[in-house]
């Protein structure tokens, strides 16, 4: 099973392959912050420290929101990604 790690909080979780990051975080106590949950506000923006290749592919909606809310290279939206392998996440404070 893939391991999902929140580096700032020092927390790791085993998740099923293909898990929605949003659904997992809503069902478990994780440090990840969400707002709209539908890919439009940017609150859930994070940068994968490792395992970016293990996240679902970025679609236009996610790309458009990221362009509006951050210029950070490699940033993703937590409410839209699925986890397909080991990923380490850094979200400010998480």
Distance CA 77, CA 14 (A): 20
Nearer to ligand FES (CB atom), residue 11 or residue 70: 70
Binders of ligand FES in range 55-94 (CB under 6 A) = 65, 77-79
Provide the 8-state DSSP code for 15: -
Is 41 near ligand FES (CB under 6 A)?
Answer: yes
User: Minimum Å distance from CB 24 to ligand FES?
Assistant: 14
Total residues at interface with ligand FES (CB under 6 A) = 14
Exposed / middle / buried, residue 22 (Cβ in 10 Å: 0-12, 13-18, 19+): buried
CA distance 63 to 85: 21
| Interaction site with ligand FES (CB under 6 A) | 34-37, 39-44, 65, 77-79
């Amino acid at each position: 099973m893939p391991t999902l790690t929140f580096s700032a909080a020092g927390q790791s979780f085993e998740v099923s392959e293909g898990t929605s990051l949003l659904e997992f975080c809503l069902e478990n106590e994780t440090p990840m912050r969400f707002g709209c949950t539908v890919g439009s506000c940017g609150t859930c923006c994070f940068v994968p420290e490792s395992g970016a290749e293990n996240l679902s592919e970025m679609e236009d909606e996610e790309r458009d929101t990221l362009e509006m809310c951050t210029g950070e290279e490699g940033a993703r939206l937590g409410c839209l990604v699925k986890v397909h392998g080991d990923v380490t996440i850094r979200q400010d404070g998480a």
